[in-house]
Structure 1
Amino acid sequence: MICHGDFGPWNVVWQGLQPAGIIDGDYARPAPRTHDAAHALESVAPFWDDAECLRWLHYPAPPDRLARLEDFCSAYGLDSTAGIVDAVIAKQQDNANLVRRLAEQGQEPHATWAANGLLTELDNRIAWSEAHRHLVE
C-alpha cells in the first residue's frame, strides 16, 4: 500500500465542505494502511489539548474525541479502533524523530521549524496523547 505520509485536512483541496483532491505527496511511501489513518487522526480526533483545538483548529468547543475517532475509523473502513491510539502516538513520535533528524542535517524547512520551537511542541503533543489516551479509548 502506498500511503500519502502527511495525510490531513491541510493537504486536501476543498470545494466548500467537500474534498476534491489530495496534494503534497512529499512523504508518500509504502506503509501499512493505518499509517495515514493514524497521521490524520492526530488532528482530526484530535490528539491535541483543548487550548490548541480552540486556537489552532478553530473548534467552537472541546471536541468529543472518542466519537470523532470512531466516526473516522468507520468512514476509513477500519473494522475496529483496536490499536489505533497506539498507532497515533507512534506516528507522532516518528514525525518528531523525522523533523529532529532532518533539522540536525540542516534540511529546510525542518531546521527552521526546529529553531522556532516545533520539536518542543511535538514532544508536548506526544506527552499529552500519552497522558490523555482515556479521551479516545
Structure 2
Amino acid sequence: MESREPVETVCHNDLAPWNTIFRAGLPVAFIDWDTAAPGPRAWDLGFIAWRWVPFWRDAKCRAHGLPIGVAEKARRFRLLLDAYDLEPEIGVVHAGIERMRQLQEHMWKLVADGSGWEVELARRGVLDEAALEIEWVEEHALTLVGS
C-alpha cells in the first residue's frame, strides 16, 4: 500500500481477527504485515473498529452470535478508543468508511481481473455485504460517536 497523509504511524492496513494470533483466547500478535505503510492512526483505527467492534449490520452480528444495536456498537467503539486514550470522533469513523471503500474498489478490480479468490468472494455475496456495511456505518456514524 502507498503511504497516506498525515503520516503519524506505520499502519498495518488489515488488523482483523484473521491476522491475529490468539493464545488462551487472548490476542498476542498481529501477522500479515505485507500491506503496512505510513499513515494516520485514524486509518487503522477506523478499520480496526470495522472488524473488531464490529461495525456490522445487526443481521450479520446476530448470525455470528455478536451483540446487536447501534448503542452497543457505540459502547464497544468507545472501549476501543479508550484503550488508545482517545475520545470517540467522527474522523475515525470516516477514515474507516474511506478504508472500506478503498478495499471494495481494490477487491472489485481483482474480480474484474479474474482473480480466483476475489471472484469466489463476489459469487458468495461477501463484497455485496461489505457495501451494505458501508451504508450502515454511513447511516449511523454520528450515533456511533455520540452515543
Normalization by structure 2: what TM-score?
Answer: 0.79
Which of 55, 59, 63 is residue 51 of structure 1 equivalent to? 59
* Matched residue SS, 1:83: helix
* Contact persistence 2:78–2:87 (CA under 8 A): no
Offset, 1:79: 5.1
Instruction: Tell me: higher relative CO, structure 1 or 2? Use CA pairs within 8 A at least 6 residues apart.
Output: 2
Offset, 1:80: 4.9
Offset, 1:22: 0.9
Q: How does 1:1-40 map to 2 (within 5 A)?
A: 1-40=9-48
Percent identity for Structure 1 against Structure 2: 29
Q: How does 1:113-132 map to 2 (within 5 A)?
A: 113-132=121-140
* Matched residue SS, 1:106: coil
* Matched residue SS, 1:136: helix
Q: How does 1:67-78 map to 2 (within 5 A)?
A: 67-78=75-86
Corresponding residue pairs, total: 135
Offset, 1:134: 4.1
Matched residues in 2 for 1:25 and 1:105: separation?
Answer: 24
Report the residue type matching 1:4 in the other structure.
Answer: H
Any gaps of 5 or more consecutive residues in structure 1? none
- Tell me whether 1:62 sits opposite 2:63 in the alignment: no
Moved more, 93-102 or 104-113: 104-113
Normalization by structure 1: what TM-score?
Answer: 0.84
Q: How does 1:79-118 map to 2 (within 5 A)?
A: 80-118=88-126
Report the residue type matching 1:107 in the other structure.
Answer: S
* Contact persistence 2:46–2:95 (CA under 8 A): yes
CA RMSD of aligned residues (A): 1.9
